[in-house]
Amino acid sequence: MKPILVVNAGSSSVKFQLFDAERQDALRRLIRGQLDGIGTQPRLRARAADQTVLIDQSYPGEQVSDVPAALAVAGAWLHTTQSFEPVAVGHRIVHGGPKYDRPVLIDAAVLADVASYVPLAPLHQPNNLAAIRSIGARLPGLPQVGCFDTSFHRRHSAIADHYAVPEELYTEGVRRYGFHGLSYEYIASRLPEVAPQLAAGRVVVAHLGSGASLCALANRRSIECTMGFTALDGLPMGTRPGQLDPGVVLYLLEQKGKSAAAVQEFLYAECGLKGLSGISNDVRDLESSSDPRAKFALDYFAYRVGLETGALAAALGGLDGFVFTAGIGENSAGMRARISEKLSWLGGVLDPAANASGASVISRGDSRLTIQVVPTDEESMIARHTADLIARRG
């Protein structure tokens, strides 16, 4: 057995999975787990591949106060109870900047590069770095592989990647990167099997979760994405505003007297569904609320998804399919229905019964646009990349 550990570190949780990479063409998931509530109400949960509960344990907040502490707790449990010694660790890294267009073995130089992109992904990059450093300190000889959320979009055309700013800024790295690339890459890899009629066609994939974006695929390659230089752009999200006139930022700085740090905190933590509703950043909370602000936030979200889908359809020169994925896309039939209404002008006709039952194809048989739900699996994509890179390195 050749176990590969996959780590996806966030600000309040560390998700981890263990895969057997003995056969590169058929990775086998062994364990899926996460330690969430870091610093507040830490809870470690894990299941085996057959869904057997392996652990469900809570800890005092001070015992698991940060990402390194969470990794230590989860790692100790894996080591002492599961007897797995990983041959490599694969990490999700949100921002790869202009340099990294593919997975890479992490060394000191890569770590320094990744650290330089922290200002471009302040919610995510510090936690990605904390996980890499923590594992490196405890297991210095263990290979670690960085898999970047920006890599899948790095083959966009120059026109799609540019902002209308002087070229020297583009050269410095001020460009449209796009994110959620590991999710989109996984969906693209699944299309030949789950939607063969769409695999070579023009598809918009909607990764809708706490972070949200759309990606335009042509023949399973990314040609455009709603996110740009940072993960603030594009669709409204749980706590991020999405598309915003830069003049609003100037207004906050000049007229409201906010510092740059305060504006950053505001844009990443106080906007989006949370800001619109004044209630919650969670779609489930908003769907169960009778407050008209909750309905407004949900309607706004669906409106913006429809609007951006039209732009991506223009980039593709037409549209053959629309795919929902990630937490909201996979689990909220109500939001899928709201968004599908916005696709009617593109030929999309929802089948309400199929949507309510959680079917894979949720468009009606007479719909010109195929509307489908495909669960994402970023961790298996990371495991694939890690196994491939380690195999090439011998």
Catalytic residues, by residue number, are 149
Q: Which of 94, 346, 332 is nearest to 231 (CA)?
A: 94
Exposed / middle / buried, residue 25 (Cβ in 10 Å: 0-12, 13-18, 19+) = exposed
Distance in angstroms (rounded) separating the CA atoms of residues 363 and 14: 36
Distance in angstroms (rounded) separating the CA atoms of residues 328 and 1: 35
Distance in angstroms (rounded) separating the CA atoms of residues 175 and 97: 9
Q: Which of 21, 25, 43, 26 is nearest to 34 (CA)?
A: 43
Distance in angstroms (rounded) separating the CA atoms of residues 168 and 179: 23
Q: What is the DSSP letter of 377?
A: -
The helix/strand/coil state of 286 is: helix
- At 297, list the tokens: 């936030």
Q: Which of 235, 66, 100 is nearest to 112 (CA)?
A: 100
Buried b (16+ CB within 10 A) or exposed e, 111-137: bebbeebeebbbbbbebbbbbbbbbbe
Distance in angstroms (rounded) separating the CA atoms of residues 133 and 115: 11
Question: Tokens 């002008």 correspond to what residue?
Answer: 345
Distance in angstroms (rounded) separating the CA atoms of residues 197 and 298: 31
Distance in angstroms (rounded) separating the CA atoms of residues 170 and 300: 32
Question: Tokens 């992490």 correspond to what residue?
Answer: 106
- At 263, list the tokens: 């504006």
The helix/strand/coil state of 149 is: coil
Exposed / middle / buried, residue 93 (Cβ in 10 Å: 0-12, 13-18, 19+) = buried
